Structure 1
Amino acid sequence: MTTATDSKTMMRLQKYMAHCGVASRRSAEGMILDGRVKVNGEVVRELGTSISPESDRVEVDGTLIQTAADHVYMMLNKPTGYITSVKDNFGRPTALDLVRIDRRVYPVGRLDYDSEGLILLTDDGALTHLLTHPSHEFEKRYYVETDRLLTDTELAKLRDGVDIGDYVTQPAFVERQKGKGLIVGIREGKNRQIRRMVEALSANVKRLRRLSIGPLELGDLKSGAWRHLTPEEVAALKALQ
């Protein structure tokens, strides 16, 4: 196997693949061992292989991979009435319908059709894996408005963890807001989890808006609008691992 030697910047092959968003480093190692990776046209099966990102040509399953600098990272303030999928079999509008960009990006995680707020969109597979894998727990915060005023005792139950039918939730951050509003922070991603937590108290969610994903905050981004992440925001998300 031949790699360039005229560059001062050398990187382990699996690390380079992770930086390019192909997969997590561990998954990249499996791809190498399976013979799916070529460097300069030659199949590489050695995990200790180092390459030059500037000079070497790396292919996975016959496709040339790009460096992380070419990835796109965006935040969207999703309104209600949109699903967080690339397409919908029932013809409902998707979050991607709100984004006008000449790149194929994907939502990281999900946000209910009836919910609104922060969604991360990217083509970085490694970051997507980091943010969605169950072993990487970090807090997501939501503004939640219920159909009735919850008592202090009920809020304590949310903080301690509640039985939502097939699962007992982990302790949540809960802070009372004006009227029937709450700020709720959770570190899990069960389907419709916050709605089910409130329903376990014999109440219902009237409005649910995601405010943050780890260090990434929605801020004053208008409903339906999107923007690119700053380099600092991207670095903060990658530092979650």
Structure 2
Amino acid sequence: MEYTRLNKAIAETGYCSRREADKLIEKRKVRVNGKLAEMGVKVTREDEISVMGEVLTKTARNIYLIFNKPIGITCTTDLRIKGNIISYINYPERIFPIGRLDKPSDGLIFMTNDGDIVNKILRSRNNHEKEYIVTVNKKISSDFIKKMSNGVPILDTVTKKCRVTRVNNYTFKIILTQGLNRQIRRMCEFLGYEVTSLRRLRIMNISLGNLKPGKYRSFTKKELKDLLALCEDSLKTHDSF
């Protein structure tokens, strides 16, 4: 019979991350088969795990959703925050966002209950492309495109080189391979521009397509297979993000 560490088993249900599971175990809020769990304990699929009285099932199906987040929705699992993404979607099973997308921005974000895939994507996210379409408040110059592409000093670092393409006088597309906090907005601000709209179109191999704002759909089998393959390849680079 296959044994799994308790924190990993909890994370696989989508309840929380492994680190958060360890904290719950330390606070003696986790039981296995009715008994208080100790750190480092291993479990099987036959064991019953409960957190603060709520029974978790390790055999829950994995959920992978593509969501077109509207402007004004906050990417948090804190239900006390008005306009939180969880209450907005109102999915019948527990899910959470992978990464974040600013409240004033819209577009593609992944939702899942699979803690393992979250760790894989976030650990290696600097290797993965994210594509955005951005509108700014004044005409885009050639100098702006060049500087955005070559790197801009923000947050005590210089952004990595990226691909920037002008769409029209006020709109450009940008493909990033890093995920600094409010990166595109900060880059534009440094160059004297203000972002008036920002939409994420693609993460890795998965595009928003024609999905309407506020709607979601499941990954296709091919999308999930290709995404997992990209994650496995990138883990070899030992990124610390």
- TM-score normalised over the length of structure 1: 0.72
Structure 1 equivalent of residue 133 of structure 2: 143
Query: In structure 1, what residue type is equivalent to 2:218?
Result: H
Contact 2:162 2:177 in 1 (8 A): no
Does the alignment pair 1:82 with 2:73? Answer: yes
User: Structure 1 residue 201: deviation in Å?
Assistant: 1.2
Unaligned 5+ residue runs, structure 1? 1-8
CA–CA distance in 2 between the matches of 1:70 and 1:77?
A: 22
Residue pairs, 1:109-188, within 5 angstroms: 109-132=99-122, 136-137=125-126, 138-164=128-154, 166-180=155-169, 181-188=171-178
Sequence identity (%)? 30
Unaligned 5+ residue runs, structure 2? 236-241
User: Structure 1 residue 200: deviation in Å?
Assistant: 1.1
Contact 1:75 1:119 in 2 (8 A): yes
122-131 or 26-35, larger mean C-alpha shift: 26-35
Structure 1 equivalent of residue 212 of structure 2: 222
How many pairs are equivalent? Answer: 227
1:102-126 Cα offsets, whole Å, 9 max, x none, are: 2343333332232111122234444
In the alignment, which of 8, 12, 22 is matched to residue 19 of structure 1? 12
CA–CA distance in 2 between the matches of 1:40 and 1:76?
A: 36
CA–CA distance in 2 between the matches of 1:42 and 1:80?
A: 45
CA–CA distance in 2 between the matches of 1:114 and 1:30?
A: 33
Does the alignment pair 1:59 with 2:50? Answer: yes
User: Structure 1 residue 210: deviation in Å?
Assistant: 0.4
Does the alignment pair 1:73 with 2:64? Answer: yes
Structure 2 equivalent of residue 208 of structure 1: 198
Contact 1:159 1:172 in 2 (8 A): yes
Structure 1 equivalent of residue 238 of structure 2: none
Contact 1:212 1:218 in 2 (8 A): yes
Contact 1:19 1:67 in 2 (8 A): yes
RMSD: 3.5
Q: 1:88 to 1:197 in 2, by over 3 A?
A: farther
SS class of match (1:10): coil
CA–CA distance in 2 between the matches of 1:87 and 1:20?
A: 19
Q: 1:184 to 1:78 in 2, by over 3 A?
A: same
SS class of match (2:146): helix
Q: 1:114 to 1:47 in 2, by over 3 A?
A: closer
- TM-score normalised over the length of structure 2: 0.72
CA–CA distance in 1 between the matches of 2:14 and 2:70?
A: 28
111-120 or 192-201, larger mean C-alpha shift: 111-120
Structure 2 equivalent of residue 3 of structure 1: none
112-121 or 148-157, larger mean C-alpha shift: 148-157
SS class of match (2:184): helix
1:195-237 Cα offsets, whole Å, 9 max, x none, are: 1101111122232110122333212212222112234444555
Greater fraction helix: 2
Q: 1:218 to 1:29 in 2, by over 3 A?
A: same
CA–CA distance in 2 between the matches of 1:96 and 1:34?
A: 26
